[in-house]
Amino acid sequence: MNQEVIDKAIYDKYIEPTKEKRSRCIGVEIEMPVVNLNKEPVNEEIIFEMSGAFLKRFGFEAVGFDVHGNVNSMLDKVTGDDLSFDCSYSNLELSFGKADNLFEIKKSFETYYMFINDFFSKYNYTLTGMGINPYYNINHNKPIENERYRMLYHHLHTYKKHNGKTDIVFHNRPDFGTFTSASQVQIDVHYDDLIDVINTFERLEPYKALIFSNSVLSEQPDLLCARNMLWECSMQGYNPRNIGMFDYSLESVNDLIEYIKSTSIYCAMRGGKYVNFTPVPINEYFKLDSLMGEYFDGEKYQDIEITPDISDLKYLRTFKFEDLTFRGTIEFRSSCCQPVCDSMTVAAFHIGLIENIPRLKSILEKDRVIYSQGNSPAELQRAFSYRDIPSFADKKRLSKMLVSILDLASIGLKSRGYGEEIFLNPLYERARTLTSPARKMLDGLDRGETIERYINEYAQL
């Protein structure tokens, strides 16, 4: 396929939307674990009953179904708000239509959350604010039976074919998508700011790990943000450029296009069926005459030969911490689900700082608090995702730097004129004490407190 055709397709999908003149809007997505406090697997019949009650109460329209006809996604076509289940019925996601300010989103979130948890309380169930379902070793962790999630679950399990054939040391939890929960925000970004936004927020990731980490695996309690490891050491990370952080600073939009071409595609659709295959970088995929993949025929997986088509670009899905979307937005994906009472902190942090990119860029380019040992942003992000803060980092200077960053976010939010800076208050305490929700919970467990205490505490509005 002609290289110019590929470049134009990428430009039209990812770059052209950033040239639209529009006011800056925000979109928030909050995934939350469903926890059965009876310490038994989540009963999907209770989930379906709740979904029916939610549809009736709020007048949403069912827009997604599994193969058995159960609703897995519902939408308010007026507001754009959506309730769905991400990968499994024990991971509930609330997504909100574009809004001008966070108070609109907070009001809707709390209304939906209270209804859902009031319903769940009859069965001793709850939603809670954690990045990994605390009962992930109790739940069945089955994928939703639809085309996409069946394909994804199958694809993640193909890691065994590649053990020892790549530089990745795969973990043995390919079901991780069914029990990990994120707090994500999408913010409109203009073409002129695109590269600065990506590069600057990349340098910010180590600091974010310090205050937002909230995903703990019982098998690895030294890791405060296990979500990232689960993505990176899976088939999603088969090509490391598909996940996590960029491995160099981008210089231009053309540089970004070249980077996108180096990311891999691992699925496409043919005849209404998902076909998955070993990930292939985009710049190689469209040079192929054909390749072999697998699809589910309703009973078992069958081999199939497909011919790459430029329309397959719609199935390229990366999971970068700063992910450029086809909507002309940057999706910030690295933050774990937060305690429910702090649900707006992630969005507030990013929105405030994106209003002050030149100043944030200057602060981080001059930073010698963590950028003094020659380590890359990616290396530092991993280091600060662990419970033990690296010995080279002075804790007082770390705390002071975090407070300065929060002050800058506060200035950005104040300039918007909505009073959203109030949502940063919980982060100031975390910055002063270098504490994240994961660290707080692990410290409590060390003192003999129970996981149930934190399930309940992190579930409170």
Residue-level pLDDT at 261: 97
Query: Tokens representing 319?
Result: 């999971």
CA nearest 347: which of 327, 370, 331?
331
Contacts of 302 (CB under 8 A, 6+ apart): 294, 295, 296
List the beta strands (DSSP E) in 130-203: 183-188
Domain range for 300: 273-315
Same domain, 70 and 203: yes
For the chain, the residue count is 461
Asked whether residue 268 is assigned to any structural domain, the reply reads: no
Same domain, 220 and 298: no
Same domain, 226 and 277: no
CATH number at residue 117: 3.30.590.20
Give how many domains the chain has, as a whole number.
Answer: 2
Q: For every one of its 461 residues, what pLDDT tens digit does the chain have, with 9 covering 90 and above?
A: 788 899 999 999 999 999 988 777 889 999 999 999 999 999 999 999 999 999 999 999 999 999 999 999 999 999 999 999 999 999 999 999 988 899 999 999 999 999 999 999 999 999 999 999 999 999 999 999 999 999 999 999 999 999 888 889 999 999 999 999 999 999 999 999 999 999 999 999 999 999 999 999 999 999 999 999 999 999 999 999 999 999 889 999 999 999 999 999 999 999 999 999 999 999 999 999 999 999 999 999 999 999 999 999 999 999 999 999 999 999 999 999 999 999 999 999 999 999 999 999 999 999 999 999 889 999 999 999 999 999 999 999 999 999 999 999 999 999 999 999 999 999 999 999 999 999 999 999 999 999 999 999 999 99
DSSP state of 54: H
CB 225 within 8 A of CB 336: yes
Residue-level pLDDT at 25: 81
CB 330 within 8 A of CB 186: yes
Q: b/e string for 426-440 if b means 16 or more Cβ within 10 A?
A: bbeebbeebebbbbb
Q: What angle do CA 226, 231, 237 make, to 5 degrees?
A: 140
Asked whether residue 415 is assigned to any structural domain, the reply reads: yes
Same domain, 255 and 300: no
Where does a domain end: 250, 283, 315? 315
Q: What is the DSSP string of 93-105?
A: EEE---BSSHHHH
Contacts of 151 (CB under 8 A, 6+ apart): 267, 274, 276, 296
Asked whether residue 191 is assigned to any structural domain, the reply reads: yes
- pTM of the prediction? 0.96
Spatial distance between the Cα atoms of 278 and 317, rounded to a whole number of angstroms: 14
Query: Tokens representing 56?
Result: 């009736």
Same domain, 204 and 283: no
